[in-house]
Structure 1
Amino acid sequence: MIREIEAQFTEEILAEAIKRYDINKEHVRLLGGYESFVYEYQKNNAFFILKISHTIRRSRNHIRGEIEFINFLKNKGLAVSNAVPSDMGNMVEEIAAKNGSFLAISYEISPGKEVSAEDWNESLYEKWGEFLGKIHHATKSYESSYPTFKRQAWDQEVQCKAEKYLRPDDVMISLIKESLTKLTSLPKSKDTYGLTHTDFHQSNFYLHNGDIYLFDFDDCSYTYFVYDIGITLYYALFYPFKEIENKTEYYKLFFRHFMKGYLKENTIQEEEIVYLQDAIKLRHVLLYVYFHQANDVSSLDEESMNRLKKLQRIAASNDPMLPIDLVQEFKSIYNSLK
Structure 2
Amino acid sequence: MMKLENMVRGLASDTIAQRLIQFWEHDEGTLELWRASSNFVYAFERNQVQYFLRFSFEQDKNIEQLKAEIEYMQYLHLNGFPSVTPIKSLSGELIETLKTPEATYIAVVFSAAYGINLDSDTITEKQMEEWGKSLGSLHCLSKKFVPVSERRNSWVDTVHFMESVFQKHPMELIALEELGRVTSWLQSLPTGNDVYGLIHYDFQLDNIFFEENKNHSFNVIDFDDAMYHWYAIDIVTALDDFIDDDNPHSKLLIQSFLNGYRSKMVLENDVVAQFSQYQRYANLYKFAKLLKTLEFEEIIDTPPWFDGLKIKLVRVADELRKTFHGSW
- TM-score tier, shorter chain, comes to 0.7 to 0.9
Residue-by-residue CA offset, 1:224-252 (whole Å, 9 max, x unaligned)? 111121111224445xxxxxxx7331342
* Cα pair distance change 1:176/1:49, threshold 3 Å: same
| Paired position in structure 2 for 1:141 | 144
29, 32, 35: which is aligned to 1:29? 32
CA RMSD of aligned residues (A): 2.8
2:321 to 312, 325, 329: 312
One-letter amino acid matched to 1:169: M
Query: Of the candidates 231, 238, 262, which is equivalent to residue 237 of structure 2?
Result: 231
Alignment deviations for residues 178-217 of structure 1 (CA, whole Å, 9 cap, x no partner): 2222123111111111112111001001111242111111
Q: Shift in Å at residue 177 of structure 1? A: 2.9
- Counterpart of 2:20 (choices 17, 20, 23) is 17
Q: Tell me the residue number matched to 1:200.
A: 203
Q: Distance in 1 between matches of 2:142 and 2:128?
A: 22
Query: Which of residues 41, 45, 52 in structure 2 aligns to 1:42?
Result: 45
Q: CA deviation at 1:68?
A: 1.5
Say whether 1:266 aligns with 2:265.
yes
Distance of 1:133 and 1:176 partners within structure 2: 28
Which residue does the alignment assign to 1:213? 219
Tell me, what secondary structure is at the counterpart of 1:156?
Answer: helix
Aligned equivalents of 1:262, 1:142: Cα separation in 2: 19
The 8 Å contact of residues 280 and 324 in structure 2, kept in 1 or not, is answered as no
Whole-angstrom CA distance in 2 between matches of 1:114 and 1:54: 28
Question: SS of the residue aligned with 2:218?
Answer: strand
Which amino acid letter does the alignment assign opposite residue 156 of structure 1?
D
Residue 279 of structure 1 aligns to which amino acid in structure 2? Y
Give the structure 2 partner of residue 242 of structure 1: none
How far, CA to CA, are the matches of 1:105 and 1:99 in structure 2? Answer: 20
Counterpart CA distance in 2 for 1:267 and 1:134 is: 11
Whole-angstrom CA distance in 1 between matches of 2:315 and 2:9: 29
Match in the other structure for 1:152: 153
Cα distance in 2 between the residues matched to 1:225 and 1:178? 20
User: Which amino acid in structure 1 is aligned with residue 154 of structure 2?
Assistant: A
Question: Which blocks of at least 5 consecutive residues in structure 2 are unaligned?
Answer: 299-306
Structure 1 portions without partners, runs of 5+ = 239-245, 321-338
Instruction: Say whether the 8 Å CA contact 1:134–1:266 is kept in structure 2.
Output: yes
Identity among equivalent positions (%) equals 19
How far off its partner does 1:273 sit? Answer: 2.9
Structure 1 residue 118: Cα displacement: 7.2
Question: Residue 105 of structure 1 aligns with which residue?
Answer: 108
- Report the CA distance shift for 1:105/1:311 in structure 2 as closer, same or farther (over 3 A): same
Secondary structure in structure 2 of the residue aligned to 1:48 = strand
CA 268–97 in structure 1, closer or farther in 2 if over 3 Å, else same: farther
SS in 1 for 2:239: helix
CA contact (8 A) 2:242 2:254 kept: no
Q: Is the 8 A contact 1:201 1:236 kept in 2?
A: no
Is 2:111 the counterpart of 1:114? no
**2:54 corresponds to 1:51:** yes
* Per-residue deviation, residues 5-37 of structure 1 (Å, max 9, x unmatched): 436647543232111114355211101121100
Seen in structure 2, the aligned counterparts of structure 1 residues 72 and 65 have a Cα distance that, compared at 3 Å, is: same
**C-alpha distance in 2 between matches for 1:172 and 1:289:** 9
Residue in structure 2 matched with residue 92 of structure 1 by the alignment: 95
- Tell me the equivalent position of 2:294: 295
How many residues get paired?
Answer: 310
| Superimposed CA distance per residue, residues 115-134 of structure 1 (whole angstroms, 9 cap, x where no aligned partner) | 13675110111111111111
Shift of 1:296: 5.1
Contact 2:7 2:36 (8 Å CA) reproduced: no
Distance, in Å, in 1 between the alignment partners of 2:123 and 2:106 is 35
- Kindly indicate whether residue 223 of structure 2 is the aligned counterpart of residue 222 of structure 1: no
Structure 1 residues 60 and 280, CA, compared in 2 at 3 Å: closer, same or farther? same
Task: Give TM-score, length-normalised by structure 1.
Answer: 0.82
Residues 117/142 of structure 1: CA separation in 2 closer, same or farther (3 Å cut) = closer
Q: Which residue is equivalent to 1:81?
A: 84
Q: CA deviation at 1:256?
A: 1.1
| Residue 331 (structure 1) aligns with | none
